[in-house]
Amino acid sequence: MNANIHINPITRIEGHASVKIFLDEKGEVKKTRLLIHSLRGFEKFVQGRPAEEIPRIVTRICGICPWMHHLAASKAIDNCFDIRPPLAGNLLRELCHLLAHIGDKILHFFFLASPDFLIGPEKSHYSVRSIIGIAKSFPDFTSKIARMRQLVHEMLESFTGRSIHPVASVVGGFSKPMLEEERKELLKAASKLLDFALFSLEFAKKDIFGPNQDLFENLGTIETGFLGMVDNSGNLELYNGNLRLMSKDGGVIDFSPEKYENYIEENVVPWSYSKVPYAKIWGKGLSLKIDDPKGVYRVNSLARINVVERISTPHAQEALEEFRNRFGRPVQNTLLYHWARLIELIYASERVIQILNKKEITDPCVRKKAEPKAGRGIGCVEAPRGTLIHDYTTDKDGCIVKANLIVGTTHNTAAMNLSVEQAARSFINKGYIDEEIINRIEMAIRAYDP
């Protein structure tokens, strides 16, 4: 009998990870580990670089969410140099942030996750259980989602030059103003995105969540706290706001992102290149014991949907109410990350239209002149994969001397480990494993979109 099982690599995720499952002599799961293999040393090699270059370097942390790193770094460097962008600069940045959220959610939900539900994990060949398999079975549907993803990238390119590894957010604001013609074209495209977002949730309710109710109840479900961003009234916020930490019984603490070190701490563990943050403010330390975890909180869509009081846009608020009526608050079912993701897709689409309707968006003043200086700056946004924190210190020449980056998925390291263990325990019996079981364990990870 296999002493342990190594699922390597986890596929249809956006990073590099594998799962080790350790079995006892009877073949029952003793423990599991999600191993994060990738490490490229950004925190080290940004040292010595001029701070104004950082938003163009840290994009390469993630090619799927480069905008979020670009913007978190821009906000942090603004703070290092003590400068506030003009209103139009901030609006343009938020617009890009939201558009990038939309593209990311379409990619994750339809291209990476949906094959698990539409094709099913049952012994189907890998080439069938994929977006290519879906393209063969549902060609019109696939064309539609491919076109919508494409549309988002074209929208971003139309006024910022680049959609992958962007350059347009600069210290002090934005590199160019938006023209009225551009605004009108974008508004037309944005209404297509909103239609698609509304369609996506209806489609998923009927063809994905409905037929797979049992999976959504149980797979990878664990009990944890949650972390996400809110505005001053507790509304969902993705670009600029306070952070809210919710314990599993629903109690909340709000804090400014600049104070993150008082609330969360990163632990280094021997089995992962990703650090393991935990909620130090709860005072119980970190424990990954499946029956009594401590200090564990989650981020990303489900966490944000749990921590907010409401959503400021009408269609998304309606979707939130339906979600809460069915599942309560906070929701712990891991696969419901997918549902929460689609509520956010609607919010982001509605918010894009709101921003494009603001007359200030075309104001020609988009940037203030900065002066390099010594300082510390923290920039925080909600990336698709969770709360993203960039923290830099500059010297008197305005070059980086210290950097600390906590990326969305890192917050979920502890929780993903627990979900994997929960899934492995419920599917592996007497050491038996097959492709279907492997895929179900991977589904628990995929929900977090790491």
- Interacting residues with other proteins between 78 and 117 (CB under 8 A): 107, 111-112
Residue 39 touches other proteins, criterion: CB under 8 A: yes
Closest to other proteins by CB, 372 vs 386, is: 372
Task: Kindly state whether residue 257 participates in binding other proteins, applying the rule CB under 8 A.
Answer: no
* Site pattern 362..381 for other proteins (x: CB under 8 A): --x-xx-xxxx---------
Total Cβ atoms within 10 A of residue 251: 9
DSSP alpha helices (H): ranges in 364-434? Answer: 408-411, 413-427
Tokens read off for 59: 């994009």
From the list 5, 23, 29, 33, which residue makes contact with other proteins (rule: CB under 8 A)? Answer: 33
Options 26, 37, 259, 326; binder of other proteins; rule CB under 8 A: 37
Q: Is 20 in the site for other proteins (CB under 8 A)?
A: yes
Pick the piece of the chain touching other proteins (CB under 8 A) from 94-102, 174-182, 183-191, 420-428. Answer: 174-182
CA within 13 Å, CB half, 257:
27
- Minimum distance, C-beta of residue 196 to other proteins, in the bound complex (Å): 15
Phi-psi label, residue 305: left if phi above 0, alpha if psi -120 to 50, beta otherwise: alpha
Residue 144 vs 310, nearer CB to other proteins: 144
Q: How far is the CB of 175 from other proteins (least distance, A)?
A: 5
Select 9 or 234, whichever has its Cβ closest to other proteins. 9
Q: Which is nearer to other proteins, 178 or 208 (CB)?
A: 178
- Which CA distances in Å does 213 have to 216, 423, 424? 5, 16, 19
Taking CB under 8 A as the criterion, the residue among 3, 82, 123, 126 binding other proteins is: 126
160 binds other proteins (CB under 8 A): yes
Beta bridge partners of 287: 294
Distance of CA 428 to the CA centre of its chain: 29
The token duo for 200 is 């996506």
Q: Which helix (H) or strand (E) holds 337?
A: helix 337-356
Interface size with other proteins, residues (CB under 8 A): 89
Give yes or no for a contact between 165 and 63, defined as CB atoms under 8 angstroms apart: yes
Residue choice 26, 84, 123, 147 for contact with other proteins (CB under 8 A): 147
Structure tokens belonging to residue 159: 């006024």
In the beta sheet, which residues pair with residue 236? 230
Distance from C-alpha of 441 to C-alpha of 251, rounded to nearest angstrom: 30
**Min CB(16)–other proteins separation in Å:** 8
- Out of 2, 26, 123, 179, name the contact with other proteins by CB under 8 A: 179
Under rule CB under 8 A, residue 35 binds other proteins:
yes
Helix or strand holding residue 54 (H, E)? helix 54-57
